[in-house]
Structure 1
Amino acid sequence: MKRDSLNFIDLFAGAGGLSEGFMQKGFNPIAHIEMNQYAAMTLETRSIYYFLKKVRRLNVYYDYLRGDITRAQLLEAVPPEVLQTVICEEMSTKTISNIFEQIDLIMEQDGINHVDVVVGGPPCQAYSLVGRAQSKHMETPMEQDPRNELYKMYTRFLTKYQPRMFVFENVAGIKTARNGAAFRNLQSHLKRVGYVIEYRELNASDFGVLQNRKRMIIIGWRKGTDFRYPDFPIVNPHATVSDLLVDLPALERGQTLNEYRPNLPINQYLRRFRIRTEHDVLTHHVCRSNTNRDVEIYRRVIELWNDNHSRLNYNHLPEELKTHKNRSSFVDRFKVVEGDMPYCHTVLAHLSKDGHYFIHPDIEQCRSISVREAARLQSFPDSYYFEGPRTAQFVQIGNAVPPLMAKGIATQIKALLGD
């Protein structure tokens, strides 16, 4: 099966949002390279899901999600080669030769003699608008961040494996980083190793994701081939953000409830985009223990939105509710998720620090969103399990490419490749 499939390598894979979209379209992952331990464990767990699904033993996976078996027992339930596709290493000039050796061994063992697509995007903090704003208050400016040069690792993979196409994802702010010099350097390196490239700023909301999330998507193909930048049809999901949340149980702050609301059928959006199926086990529906001060602010934020779609300005809070000395920037630091709109604002990894920017729209709950709610906003299916503590889960989710967006990209790439 692997020889006949379209094969891809995922670089800087994170929790696997890009991989998930490509795998849903039938692409075979040769390797996922990710340096973060918890994200790599998440990738392993998802690889196990796909293996057990193929051999019709998903009951073992669901036993793990229910807590009936340990992770060690889950790992023992699959052959070792299922896990070897996940390479947990930092990419650098010192490690890249070893990473290449591991990938070459995987390809040899699986009888794979070519790579069709390389996907991925280096860490984007140094390119993001938010990162640059924060850089003013840091000892080492973002412009000097060594992660700015990680795209050179990406081009090393293009040179080594000569994929027919590649998909390079990053924040929209990459175009203006370092006054545009970073983006010009990136394009130059991608072209220098033998690829024609085009780029567009795409929005996840055009792929059926209920989130306003703009990303720069660079697509390249080997010189001399007749590929092109795909045209992506706009998907209208005919839904609002509340459709993502309605079947999840109401939570009190600090509570965990991993049972779907009883007697509530799976709605059209969840079913159409396979966010939830009849077989799923609910996990990660846990929220923070917000303080009384936070809850009072949240109540005001939700009321303002519900009354006339207004946002709270931090400076308009009573003095007894203010704790931040900075009153001139990030005055919108408290924000409700737009439940009655066709998409919400961009989900960020900052969720790991606090939930003030992602307040649940239900005033009766008056809390920040749960891990599972964040995953759904990113279009991860409920069967997706994120390893590590809650903070690490929020980081993985916030940094991910929405799988629905990735699937839309993979669909058109597959059509171009003719398979």
Structure 2
Amino acid sequence: MTSTANQQIRRIKLERLRAGATPRALEICSGAGGLSLGLKTAGFELTAHIEIDPEAAKSYALNFGAGRAADDAWMLPRDMEACSPQGLVTDLGFETSAGESFDLVAAGLPCQAFARIGRSKLRSVAGEEDAFQKDPRASLYRRFLKFVDDTQPLIILIENVPDILNFGGHNVPEEICETLELVGYRTGYTILNASHFGVPQVRERLFIVALADVLGAEPEFPEPTHFLELPRGYEGSRRVALKHVDRKSGRFHEIHDPARTLPEATGTRDALDDLPVIVEHRTDPAVIRRRKVSDVLEYRTLKNGISAYAQQMRSWPCFEAPFGANGHMVRLTPRDFPIFAKMKHGADYPQARKLAEQLFNETLAQRGLSQRHSNSATYRGLRAEMVPPYDPEKFPNKWWKLDPLKPSRTLTAHMGKDTYSHIHYDSQQARTVSVREAARLQSFPDGFNFAGAMNAAFRQIGNAVPPLLGLAVAKTLHRQLTTSSAGAKEADGLYAA
């Protein structure tokens, strides 16, 4: 049951909002700020955040810390396990207590232990089948619930991968919801796909929403705005994730399929075509080596004008970039440029490997060599220069070339080490995507800046909640909060007993 003191804290917050105050948000594990951007744009004040990665925290400060000194406590990285809510508000110089300071508490908790690809890596490293269940990151949601108890928000928002629904046979969101309901929240969770909300990327994410009883409202989730029939692989992943969902509990909200009458999902050409052509990696690699993530290049002028999506990325409020953008760094991998150029749209690593073998055999013939010379140093050296060493059967999805008419596959934090999962659709450019192109595929506006070098920027982008998806969720929450605030007197009457 909710204590009388906690009910009173929530009612006071609701009265404050009814008087016209802006709802205040605390985001835990904020990353560079993809979800925060959605919250800010929807009308929430970014009062505080917690992020352990120094480079991501610096990106957050770059984009949301206007007017603050570089050493301001608000700008610094923090570890949620070493940080208490009261310690946070004290460090930030708030005049309010932790329980008074925040109306919404959100978290994009680390997903490595929950995601199936992360589980496999943990098994490999630890040599144990259940290593993912022992990963300390898997229990951070319990630490998050402690933050909720100390801050008494009106709204709770959690984002993670769908595999958190089937964590070794355990439905973690169901546990979280059960716990929150015991302390006076109405809860719900569902899966949303970023491509259904205008993001040029097929990205499945699990969202949990909890609304304080004092609001007198049930959790809602945004309706899709764009149509895409998901690839078969995503449907299979959904089935695995939903295996342990108990429909009878009423907490799981059935996934809303988009209507075919909606606008088509944003394709990668509409997302990227106005960005600068990058060919220096082949013509003059020194240019790329000298280029910094912060260097700005002008947009392309397109004969038929730019897409609505590109215009949106150029003109996002407070993040406008009307003349050009930064982030035009790409990986220098000369062995593979000829392969990229010949790959078909939508092709993956097995096709790329076949192309590499063909190019290698053609070069052998030109040099008067054949398989008879396979033990020679010349043959082996040439093969190493032209053919990737990965086994196609073990790495079927290691490479992938964007289809210009379809959304991209999911971007991951692994892009910080390897961008071969996103090869540019333009064969003339023959490369993997740039930092800014990855940001566009994630729906970060062009005026959003990333701290650190190329690898750090890719990692931050891959880890982020797509801002457009975050905005869709945040707008729904803001509407519910505004509606509930307007009826605060009625709510007080209901929960005063």
In structure 2, the partner of 1:100 is 86
* Alignment match of 2:50 (pick from 14, 33, 47): 33
Q: Which has the higher helix share?
A: 2
Q: Is 2:451 the counterpart of 1:387?
A: yes
Range 242-251 or range 128-137, more displaced = 128-137
> CA contact under 8 A between 1:339 and 1:361: conserved in structure 2?
yes
**CA-CA distance at 1:158 after TM superposition:** 0.7
Structure 1 pair 210–82 and aligned structure 2 pair: CA distance change class (3 A): farther
User: Pairwise CA RMSD of aligned residues?
Assistant: 2.8
Q: 2:309 aligns with which of 247, 253, 269?
A: 269
Q: Distance in 2 between matches of 1:331 and 1:144?
A: 29
Q: Which secondary structure does the structure 2 equivalent of 1:43 belong to?
A: helix
Question: How do 1:251-400 residues align onto structure 2 when only pairs under 5 Å count?
Answer: 251-252=278-279, 253=281, 254=285, 255=288, 256=291, 258-264=296-302, 265-272=305-312, 274=315, 277=320, 279=322, 281-292=324-335, 294-301=336-343, 304-305=344-345, 309-313=346-350, 316=354, 318=357, 320=383, 321-324=386-389, 326-341=391-406, 343-400=407-464
| Aligned residue number for residue 248 of structure 1 | 275
From the superposition, tell whether residues 132 and 297 of structure 1 become closer, same or farther in structure 2 (CA, over 3 Å): farther
Distance in 2 (CA, whole Å) between partners of 1:16 and 1:260 is 25
Deviations 1:301-347 (A, max 9, x none): 3xx22xxx554426645284544454433212110122222x11111
Q: Could you say if the C-alpha distance between residues 137 and 277 of structure 1 is closer, same or farther in structure 2, counting changes exceeding 3 Å?
A: same
| Contact 1:155–1:193 (Cα < 8 Å) also in 2 | no
Q: Counterpart in 2 of 1:163?
A: 153
- Report the counterpart of residue 18 of structure 1 in structure 2: 35
Instruction: Quote the Cα distance in structure 2 between the aligned partners of 1:346 and 1:33.
Output: 25
Give distance in 1, aligned partners of 2:39 and 2:68.
Answer: 23
Could you tell me how far apart the structure 2 residues matched to 1:214 and 1:41 are? 27
List per-residue Cα deviations over 1:10-66 (Å, max 9, x = no partner): 000001101011111221011110001001111111123xx4xxxxxxxxxxxxxxx
Asked whether the equivalents of residues 171 and 214 of structure 1 are also in contact (C-alpha less than 8 Å), the reply is yes
> Contact (CA 8 Å) 1:379, 1:403: kept in 2 or not?
yes
Within-5 A mapping of 1:231-246: 231-236=221-226, 238=264, 239-246=266-273
1:115 to 98, 102, 123: 102
- Are 1:177 and 1:183, in contact at CA under 8 Å, matched by a contact in 2? no
Q: Pick closer, same or farther for the CA change 1:240–1:325 going to 2, 3 Å.
A: closer
| Alignment match of 2:119 (pick from 118, 121, 132) | 132
Q: Determine if contact 1:32/1:87 at 8 Å carries over to the other structure.
A: no
Q: Report SS of the residue matched to 2:325.
A: coil
Instruction: Say which one has the larger Rg.
Output: 2
Q: Check the 8 A contact 1:44/1:83 in 2, yes or no.
A: no
Letter in 2 for 1:12: C
Whole-angstrom CA distance in 2 between matches of 1:233 and 1:185:
25
* Aligned-residue offset at 1:146: 0.6
Could you tell me which residue of structure 2 aligns to residue 56 of structure 1?
none
Please give the secondary structure, in 2, of the residue aligned with 1:96. Answer: coil
Q: How many Å apart are 1:397 and its aligned residue?
A: 0.3
TM-score for the superposition, normalised by structure 1: 0.83
TM-superposed CA distance for 1:142, in Å, is: 2.1
Contact 1:7 1:28 in 2 (8 A): yes
Aligned equivalent of 1:178: 168
CA distance in 2, matches of 1:26, 1:363: 42
- The DSSP-based 3-state class of the residue aligned with 1:178 is coil
The 10-residue stretch of structure 1 (212-221 or 281-290) with the greater mean CA deviation from structure 2? 281-290
Deviates more, 1:199-208 or 1:279-288: 279-288
**Distance verdict in 2 for CA 1:222–1:259, change over 3 Å:** same
Q: Which residue of 1 aligns with 2:73?
A: 84
CA contact (8 A) 1:132 1:142 kept: yes
SS across alignment from 2:169: helix
CA contact (8 A) 2:173 2:189 kept: no
| Cα displacement string for residues 46-95 of structure 1 (whole angstroms, at most 9, x for unaligned residues) | 123xx4xxxxxxxxxxxxxxxxxxxxxxxxxx344994334411121xx2
- Looking at structure 2, the residues matched to 310 and 88 of structure 1 have their Cα atoms a distance apart, in angstroms, of 40
Change in Cα spacing, 1:81 to 1:412, as seen in structure 2 (3 Å) is farther
| Cα distance, 1:149 vs structure 2 | 0.6
Runs of 4+ more than 6 Å apart: none
Stretches of structure 1 lacking an aligned partner (at least 5 in a row): 52-77
The verdict on how the C-alpha distance between 1:182 and 1:234 changes in structure 2, with shifts beyond 3 A counting, is closer
CA contact (8 A) 1:127 1:171 kept: yes
CA distance in 1, matches of 2:166, 2:309: 36
TM-score in terms of structure 2 length: 0.70
Aligned to 2:238: none
Paired residue total: 381
